[in-house]
Amino acid sequence: MLQEITEQPVVLERTILAERAKLEKLGEFLRGRDIDLIVLVARGSSDNASLFGRYLLEITTGIPVSLSAPSVFTLYGAKLNLKRAVVIGVSQSGEGTDINSVLESAKNSGAFTIGITNEADSTMAKIADETLLIHAGREKSVAATKTYTGQMLHFYMLASALADTKIEFERIPHFSSQALQLKSDVEELVKRYVFMENCVVVGRGLNYGNSYEFALKLMETCYVVAERFSSADFFHGPLAIVERRFPVILFAPTGVTRQSNLDLLERLHELHADCLTITNDTEIAAKSPRFLQMPSEIDEFLSPIPFIVPAQLFAALLAKEKGINPDAPRSLSKVTKTI
């Protein structure tokens, strides 16, 4: 897992070089169609990447985006009218049975289908009208890292191809490389959390998907019960679970979510919670008992990929500190097939 975390800047750069021209042509094709809906289909870490993709695509293109409930297709056999929709399946292996079933049903319902996967010869690649490949090489760790950020990158490239305003996604590999420099800080930090059994992870807007992904990483590699919330939702009831020294971890970049994170930090301070923030905002860092300082030049819009890197390091190194092998989590396998 640690090795694959460190590979991410290279993987991201390689994916941009290999897939950029394809994305530009795909963007031209889709702009010529009368698209009024985008549907994202995924499970696990891929679903968390899709949650990010939903925010990004809606913000940049103005097209409504829905996260599919595969059971609507696989269990209830619903037939949807998708003639003016793009349906995107997201799967590291491309072998998720339910995801591929939804793609097939969507094609039969008139949708244009896209697969985002790390496997060129997968079932998904054979089904989808167009396949966007993550050039990550084989991912051996059960806990997805480089394929998660690779999926997010494809949403950046797709959004840039569809939107009127281009996104500077070319800067993301460099920012991710900078994030890896926090490893020694994380190694010291996890010693404090070695006995952590429960926590909350908070992220809003473009980093909301990261709150889900980091919580998943803590659950599958460290066996920590991790809940995840938007900073806005956290005030609507869940705040009641916080007591003295309760761990709350925040993704808190500078940008439009800044004030809600500052408001939450103030309330958590009053409750004497144990707060850790991943931030590049000096005021947020100053109000945080513990923080991981990201480079200030990372705009909120480009923050999700570099900001998940220290969280991945935290999960892998905390597992090691707890005496758990993060590459062999109990009860789990790399490819999960559900219907």
**pLDDT by 10s per residue, the chain, length 339:** 999 999 999 999 999 999 999 999 999 999 999 899 999 999 999 999 999 999 999 999 999 999 988 888 888 888 888 999 999 999 999 999 999 999 999 999 999 999 999 999 999 999 999 999 999 999 999 899 999 999 999 999 999 999 988 999 999 999 999 999 999 999 999 999 999 999 999 999 999 999 999 999 999 999 999 999 988 887 676 777 788 889 999 999 999 999 999 999 999 999 899 999 999 999 999 999 999 999 999 999 999 999 999 999 999 999 999 999 998 876 655 556 566
pLDDT, position 332: 56
| Bridge partners of residue 225, in order along the sequence | 198
Is pTM beyond 0.85? Reply is yes
| In contact, 120 and 133? CB cutoff 8 Å | yes
Helix, strand, coil share of the chain (percent; to 5): 50, 15, 35
Chain center to CA of 162 = 20
Residue type, 133: L
CA distances (Å), 169 to each of 43, 201, 298, in order? 25, 26, 11
Tell me how many degrees the CA angle 83-52-103 measures, rounded to the nearest 5.
Answer: 35
DSSP-derived letter for residue 129 is S
pLDDT, position 336: 60
pLDDT, position 231: 81
Burial of 86 (0-12, 13-18, 19+ CB in 10 A): buried
Residue type, 106: A
pLDDT, position 234: 76
Helices (H) and strands (E) in the chain, counts: 14, 10
Q: Which domains does the chain have, with CATH numbers?
A: 2-167 (3.40.50.10490), 173-321 (3.40.50.10490)
**Half-sphere exposure for 219 (CA within 13 Å, toward CB):** 16
Enumerate residues 6+ apart whose C-beta is below 8 A from 229: 200, 201, 202, 211, 238
pLDDT, position 289: 94
Count of other CB atoms within 10 angstroms of residue 33: 11
